[in-house]
Amino acid sequence: MSQPLIVIDHVSKVYHRDAIEIPVLGDINLTVDAGQFLALMGPSGSGKTTLLNLMAGIDKPTSGRIAIGGRDVTAMSETQLARWRADIVGFIFQLYNLIPVLTAFENVELPLLLTRLSKKERRQHVETALSIVSLSDRMDHYPRQLSGGQEQRVAIARAIVADPAILVADEPTGDLDAKNADEILDLLNRLTSEFQKTIVMVTHDPRAAARARRMVHLDKGVLSTEPSRSAADFPSGVRP
């Protein structure tokens, strides 16, 4: 039996403000299998983004252990974490975080500039990523020339261009209308079903969370989970 890709073992997170301790997460236990699309829900201030950042190696827990692909992320140095994130994690944000003076192609290429790929190899990777998100015909456009949905597609292409194992998405549909949000969720599901990407998505939107294969809830730093679902569990016409 294969091991889960993500293992969160008795993780707690406490922030300090002067002499005051602010507990955010308490004794979190969670496993995520490879290729799973997980939605992480909860009210504002529940610790969702903190947990996402811990999984992505952006922050470290106060106590407990996080293992990704069998490696103990909590034991890594900052230099090791930076290298690990570049290889393993792709980031998708609510507000896209595209650079306005760069074209779609150049925005997607950015993560590859830190690799040893040749210019020709970088182009091949970028063209493939933009093709997956159906934006091959927009690669020379600047962000201001794109719709919000197209901007988020460029951001997703940037997240997948280095072929990471895990995508972490923080409210990826939060700035989109219903139609564009559905298209982005279709794309995320396609990334899991066709390309076996593991996705952890923070959202406050029940409609968005319902599109994931599994849902967990955080409330005041306490986690509750729902069972994984198969394609047969989705309503007719809804693509898992």
Q: Assess contact for 66 and 7: CB atoms under 8 A.
A: yes
Q: According to the model, what pLDDT value does residue 227 have?
A: 52
Q: Judge whether 108 and 158 are in contact, CB under 8 Å.
A: yes
Instruction: Enumerate residues 6+ apart whose C-beta is below 8 A from 80.
Output: none
Per-residue buried b or exposed e for 120-138, using 16+ beta carbons within 10 Å of the residue's own CB: eebeebbbebbebbebeeb
Q: What is the pLDDT along the chain (240 residues), one digit of tens a residue?
A: 567 999 999 999 999 888 899 999 999 999 999 999 999 998 888 899 999 999 999 999 999 999 999 999 999 999 999 999 989 999 998 888 999 999 999 999 999 998 889 999 999 999 999 999 999 999 999 999 999 999 999 999 999 999 999 999 999 998 899 999 999 999 999 999 999 999 999 998 899 999 999 999 998 888 886 555 544 444 434 444
- 225 with 216: CB under 8 angstroms? yes
Distance (Å, whole) CA 214 – CA 95: 24
212 CB neighbour count, 10 Å cutoff: 26
User: In whole angstroms, what is the distance from residue 110 CA to residue 44 CA?
Assistant: 32
Name the maximum alpha-carbon separation found in the chain.
Answer: 55
Eight-class DSSP state of 179? H
CATH class of 33-60+89-233: alpha beta
Give CA–CA dist 236/233, Å, rounded: 9
Give the residue extent of every domain in the chain. Answer: 33-60+89-233
- The span from the CA of 42 to the CA of 75, in Å, is 28
Determine how many CB atoms are found less than 10 A away from the CB of residue 87.
12
What pLDDT, on the 0 to 100 scale, is given for residue 232? 41
pLDDT given for residue 220 in this prediction? 85
In this prediction, residue 221 carries a pLDDT of 86
**pLDDT at residue 226, as a whole number:** 59
